[in-house]
Chain A
Amino acid sequence: MAGDAPWYEAAQVVGITNALNVAADGLGAAGMTAVEPARAPAEVRATFDEIRAFFGGAAEVPAPFRLIAHDAGYLADVWGATRHAFADNRLPRRLKAALAFAVSMTTRSPFGSAFHLAEMRRLGVTERGVLEVIGVTQMFSSYTKIADTLALEPDMGDMAPADPSPAPGG
């Protein structure tokens, strides 16, 4: 994971995963109505089709997208950011699904945990691989709380060299 670029990608996955989870878990629980694809305007249906295709031809559009689809423009922009964040790039899509699964478990998101677990499996991660991600998530959930309880100060920050490259296009 040399250089900063993979970490920017990871941060995008973490951010948009949380954005989707808060909509799915929060709005769903609040009783907000999801947009039904069959009754949606053409513009929304087109975005729904893209979403289903991206997620392996899923039968259903994932809940967070249906919940925010009352505003077609907003849906399209959130979807654009999601697609960009989860697409294969420097980080492969299976790792991005694993990161999203770990984030969802850590934030106790029922939607995110189930959705990204299914995505990991769809992308070829076996039960062994799933357990690997669960193990890392558990152990670092433990280490972080031990560190916080004892108010430990960072002392490993200089292990990796700083990336001297400019911003993209700079």
Chain B
Amino acid sequence: MPTVRLRDASEYPEPIRKMFELSREWFNHDFKEPPAMSRVMAWDPGFGAPHGRAMKRAMAPGEFSRGEKEMVAAVVSGVNACHY
């Protein structure tokens, strides 16, 4: 069980809800609620916004494709034994 109560998207202010729409486009998936991590990062935009931009820069296609980078991300998460 999460340490914090994850707020539904409807509990966030309007500008943040627009960010959730961008998150849906990023994942190209129609979530019932934005992913837990998106809602966590939206809690404090002073941290979440630059962190999210850094992630998008890192994941953008370059010498390695987005798919290849997703695989790198998956193995890093696996090695970190991250349940999420």
Q: A interface vs B, CB < 8 Å?
A: 1, 6-7, 10, 13-14, 18, 91, 95, 98-99, 102-103, 106-107, 125-126, 128-129, 132-133, 135-156, 159
A8 to chain B, nearest CB (A): 12
Q: B interface vs A, CB < 8 Å?
A: 1-4, 6, 27, 29, 31, 33, 35-37, 40-41, 51, 54-55, 57-59, 62-64, 67-80, 82-84
Rounded to whole angstroms, the CA-CA distance of A106 and B76 in the bound complex is 7
Residues of A within 8 A of B4 (CB): 150
Looking at the complex, which one of A7, A106, A135, A159 makes contact with B79 (CB distance below 8 Å)? A106
Known: A103-B75, A150-B4, A159-B27; 9 extra A-B contacts, CB below 8 A, are: A98-B64, A129-B62, A133-B64, A136-B72, A137-B72, A139-B55, A143-B55, A146-B41, A151-B3
Most chain A beta carbons < 10 A, residue from B27, B58, B67, B70? B58
> Total number of A-B contacts with CB less than 8 angstroms?
130
Residues of B within 8 A of A128 (CB): 62-63
Rounded to whole angstroms, the CA-CA distance of A147 and B75 in the bound complex is 16
Residue of B nearest to A148 (CB): B82
A148 to chain B, nearest CB (A): 6
- Whether B36 pairs with A103 at a CB distance below 8 angstroms is no
Looking at the complex, which one of A103, A126, A149 makes contact with B76 (CB distance below 8 Å)? A103
Can you name 24 A-B pairs with beta carbons within 8 Å?
A: A10-B74, A14-B78, A91-B71, A95-B68, A99-B75, A102-B75, A106-B80, A126-B63, A132-B69, A136-B69, A137-B76, A139-B55, A143-B55, A144-B76, A144-B77, A144-B80, A145-B82, A147-B36, A147-B37, A148-B80, A150-B2, A151-B2, A153-B1, A155-B36
